[in-house]
Structure 1
């Protein structure tokens, strides 16, 4: 039971390690999902992950200061949120709207939005969306109750809002990051993609080591348990 949270993390890493994510243009607008509906996945969600599926992303979110890079999907599904962030209002466009992106916080920094709680005002956020790069600067972070839906409002301005849970368990609180767009440019698209790739590879390396550590620790504990039981039963 003590190993269950770590096993869930390790299993998610294993399930999603070789997932194919292809960037495509927006072809379908999904129905909005309430912020209350997003909760950390349980073990059943991880076990039912369809790892052979080709996932179609509309872009990528990059935060260099956190070494965080995750794909962005058009809308929210349980499957999408296991490998990336989802757009809560996929009909909105970054040119003149508040882009609201939701991601899971699963208790490990190198997974999904795990590092988001470490972000600082002034940090840069890059949204690669439909072949263009949108750069934002973090203006505010706050902790809100899941019923405080004003953070989702669209002010017809070039903003971005990133939302995750405040802890990797069932919770009614959300950590919210608000950013203001400062630049739109396609000139550094190749550089951004290269940076994304480097961060993803680094996180994958850390996560693979973590999976190995969890598996070896579990086997060691099981072995010690068996030895202890045999000693007790032989007395």
Structure 2
């Protein structure tokens, strides 16, 4: 009997990590199930909320069709590679010297369609789906708490050296630019939108 008891205890020692692991899984599973029950209970409880528009206080770009909401870094020197790469880590960039919403000319905004995965920042591919925009799609720019709405009127590809897209315009417009196709610098995708 003593030999049998010793063998059982030795076998239990071998499996103590397995037993411990199973206990942990049971605890985690139980927590997950109770958490899901809470979530489903909360989801089935009717609530009354008033839908409010977000109030962006500084400078912000919203493109509903692309489910995009991104900060705009103002007055970025597009000729200073170090400055604009640093700015694009935090959002998209407003080209220094171009108009701002409400000022009546060309508001030029640029961002990445792709960039090195190891580079810092959350906006390395923010403009990757920009080509999905079509004529009539809405673009919203927030500036100092005020909303400015535009609709897409033109989409085109230009060479990287075409600076005509930066020029002032007689009427207000938003010009969005990104490298195209994603992963290259061969061309620039340009989206132009006019006030609604």
Band the TM-score falls in, shorter-chain normalisation: 0.5 to 0.7
Mapped partners of 2:59, 2:166: distance in 1: 20
Alignment of 1:67 with 2:67, yes or no, is yes
Residue 112 (structure 1) aligned with residue 126 (structure 2): yes
Structure 1 residue 92, shift from structure 2 partner: 2.2
- Which of 155, 180, 189 aligns to 1:141? It is 155
Secondary structure of the corresponding residue to residue 74 of structure 1 = strand
What is the number of residues matched between the two proteins?
127
- Cα displacement (A) at 1:66: 1.0
Paired residues for 1:128-167 under 5 Å: 128-167=142-181
Residues 98 and 107, structure 2, Cα contact 8 Å, conserved in 1: no
Tell me, in whole angstroms, the C-alpha distance in 2 between the residues paired with 1:117 and 1:162.
11
Q: Larger radius of gyration, structure 1 or 2?
A: 2
* Contact 2:114/2:182 (<8 A) preserved: yes
Runs of at least 5 residues in structure 1 that lack an aligned partner in the other structure: 1-22, 25-57, 183-235
Distance (Å, rounded) in 1 between the aligned partners of 2:124 and 2:99: 28
Write out the 4+ residue segments of structure 1 that deviate beyond 2 Å after TM superposition: 89-93, 107-111, 167-170
Q: Tell me if structure 1 keeps the 8 A contact 2:98–2:166.
A: no
2:92 aligned with 1:85: yes
Distance verdict in 2 for CA 1:91–1:149, change over 3 Å: closer
> How far apart, in 2, do the equivalents of 1:110 and 1:91 lie?
23
How big is the shift at 1:170?
A: 3.7
- Whether the 8 Å contact between 1:82 and 1:104 is mirrored in structure 2 is no
Alpha carbons 1:143, 1:176 under 8 Å: kept? yes
Partner of 2:30: none
